[in-house]
Amino acid sequence: MTGIIDYGCGNMFSLVSSLKKVGENVEIFNNKEGLYRCDRIILPGVGAFGCAAEKLECSGLSSAVKELAGRGVPLLGICLGMQLLFEKSSEYGEHRGLSLLCGSVGKIDCEQAGLKLPHMGWNSLRFKKKSGLFRYVEEGEYVYFVHSYHAEDCSDSVIATVGYGTEICAAAGMENVCGTQFHPEKSGDTGLRILKAFTEM
């Protein structure tokens, strides 16, 4: 069973539907006890980093997430949920993340290239290292992004990138901890295959 962490940041409707679509049992939890029963967990997230990090901390869920990740439970962060896996973010001030992956989160620098923010729409994946998460996906497939900040200085953990003026980290991971900057639950069939692969981790 996959547990989705509910800490008041994000719309989980599509995520639940897409996991059900790939045949997974899914439950939403806003407490530690529930999460301990899960085979794998997903940390979603929409909004600003600082606010989300604070909510996660205040709900007492951040320690549970760290503990479960440390025990080897597969963890997938999505969008802001992936950014929270890193050490810190400079979005509206400096904020600490979960430090499950090395690196920080900063604003996408695409102004010189004359590109718009948010980076919104479908972009094609380029793989940097192998990951079970993408075993059903081929190089060049498109996935859906909506974000203005991205992970930096995280080269060890980068799984896939996309080009947008600069190279943007699209997915990162180390062992059982991984994250996608894009929304697999909004990335059509490609996204469903990624979620399917996660449910098999």
* Nearest Cα residue to 121 out of 139, 140, 147: 147
Q: Which one of 124, 135, 139, 156 is in contact with another protein (CB under 8 A)? A: 124
Q: How many residues bind another protein (CB under 8 A)?
A: 33
Minimum distance of another protein from residue 14's CB (angstroms): 6
Q: Does residue 48 belong to the site contacting another protein (CB under 8 A)?
A: yes
Name which of 74, 86, 62, 67 is nearest 9 in CA terms.
62
Nearer to another protein, 110 or 174 (CB): 110
Residue from the set 62, 83, 89, 123 that interacts with another protein by CB under 8 A: 123
Whether 185 is catalytic: yes
Catalytic residue among 9, 38, 79, 178: 79
**Of positions 6, 14, 50, 96, contacts another protein by CB under 8 A:** 14
Report d(CA 102, CA 185) in Å as an integer: 25
Kindly give the pairing relationship between strand 88-89 and strand 95-96: antiparallel
Q: Which two tokens stand for residue 138?
A: 């081929």
Q: Which of 24, 141, 152, 185 is catalytic?
A: 185
Q: Is 79 a catalytic residue?
A: yes
Residues of this chain, 128-187, that bind another protein according to CB under 8 A: 142, 144, 146-148, 163-164, 185-187
* Catalytic annotation, residues: 79, 183, 185
Would you tell me which residues interact with another protein (CB under 8 A)? 11, 13-14, 17-18, 20-21, 46-48, 116-124, 142, 144, 146-148, 163-164, 185-189, 191-192
